[in-house]
Structure 1
């Protein structure tokens, strides 16, 4: 059984003066299609231990995650999920898109935390240095303007703390990871009905072999991240020729290519 996270780190922050702590985690960073999604769960000193079975979403089966949703819907003070679309990922880059999704999740919580706790060592939520007007491209201006009226939360006065493996140690972050994963998986299953050839009901937009094959044969959909290096039809012939050459030299023909290994890492 996966190790059970607890609230020790959140309570330390609360006893140090924070009134409300929000655990936050993301899913979909490494996918080729679909949004990047961020979950957020708010806790305070009155929050009880997390429901039994809560763990980092990557350590749980899909069925185990789904079974936890009703209990997580009653746990903590508030919980929410935010998304950034493939078009926004293309316009802003993945880190800025994560920031946008995270701030949408915070806005949807309906309450302002004192501290946000992120998994990992990188603070992707805080805004970088504000660029000057002439440093922004047209797409970035359009997305930023739309975000101001689309659930975009400002972080003035909110501290952001990072913790490596917080999704395994901190209950609020683990809960946020489950909410984000279940929400995004359900969305990708729904989007599969629009584009059934890509296998999103199973691969959730990640680079599984059948997804890569469909991209080579059919090309990308509007829900693919066009700024990413996608295996397209014109590359298929070159890859086939390279595979034939490798086979002639005695290399294993069925070894996964670099695109497949990379794209499957975050699933």
Structure 2
């Protein structure tokens, strides 16, 4: 049976008087190409409003069409939301963990004040915030995080579709920059682009081969 995220974590914190709870998630951390994107979402403690989000799930479990449709509902329902990104150059400078935290900080700056973070997976120490709850498989279990994952994925996928039109041959319209056989074949045939993450092992190996040629 499919697992749908719920409000168990939010309700516990609402009962503590924390009203502005942020669901925080990133997309694109493992991709070979382009920015890592984070989204932050604050949902209302309002049962009627939240009923509009009944179809929200972990973004990876939704079709492209469903994600696009749900983004509109999330934006209409949320008290606030923000999107942040860190570029390939920033990934090289700070490493992927540091760049992911940077994207999250940028998303958080767009939503104003907040009381507590709900984050997917592990605590993000680089945020420098104690008031956070890390939830394993949070994008599948926690509605606020699931909403953030949908917004972040639609945003990043949209970027990759545009880049796919400019750089045909890598299959980005299908793999959105991840290391699929089609993408790797494109790398071997066409070489790297300015949008590839040069510190990632497969890209670094290609660069080393080119330098040794």
Tell me how far apart the structure 2 counterparts of residues 68 and 43 of structure 1 sit (CA, whole Å).
14
Aligned match of 1:78 in 77, 80, 84?
80
- Note if contact 2:123-2:132 (Cα within 8 Å) is conserved in structure 1: no
After TM superposition, where is structure 1 displaced by more than 4 Å over at least 4 residues in a row?
A: 233-236
1:3 matches 2:3: yes
- Note if contact 1:121-1:164 (Cα within 8 Å) is conserved in structure 2: yes
> Structure 1 regions of 5+ residues with no counterpart?
128-154, 237-267
Deviations 1:164-208 (A, max 9, x none): 121111111001000011110011001112211222111101111
Tell me how far apart the structure 2 counterparts of residues 232 and 211 of structure 1 sit (CA, whole Å).
13
Give TM-score scaled by structure 1 length. 0.72
Tell me how far apart the structure 2 counterparts of residues 169 and 88 of structure 1 sit (CA, whole Å).
30
The aligned residue for residue 260 of structure 1 is none
Q: Per the alignment, do residues 104 and 213 of structure 1 end up closer, same or farther by CA in structure 2, a change over 3 Å counting?
A: same
- Note if contact 1:3-1:168 (Cα within 8 Å) is conserved in structure 2: yes
Q: Map of 1:94-243 to 2, 5 A cutoff?
A: 94-109=96-111, 111-123=112-124, 125-127=126-128, 159-229=131-201, 230=203, 231-232=205-206
> Structure 2 regions of 5+ residues with no counterpart?
none
> Larger helix proportion, structure 1 or 2?
2
Give TM-score scaled by structure 2 length. 0.89
Larger Rg: 1
Deviations 1:17-62 (A, max 9, x none): 3231000111101100011111111124346435121001111111
What's the offset of the Cα at 1:234?
A: 6.7
* Count of aligned positions: 206
Secondary structure, counterpart of 1:40 in structure 2: strand
What's the offset of the Cα at 1:13?
A: 1.1
Q: Per the alignment, do residues 125 and 179 of structure 1 end up closer, same or farther by CA in structure 2, a change over 3 Å counting?
A: farther
What's the offset of the Cα at 1:216?
A: 1.7
Tell me how far apart the structure 2 counterparts of residues 4 and 194 of structure 1 sit (CA, whole Å).
37
Tell me how far apart the structure 1 counterparts of residues 171 and 81 of structure 2 sit (CA, whole Å).
30
1:43 matches 2:43: yes
After superposition, the CA RMSD in angstroms is 2.0
Tell me how far apart the structure 2 counterparts of residues 11 and 113 of structure 1 sit (CA, whole Å).
16
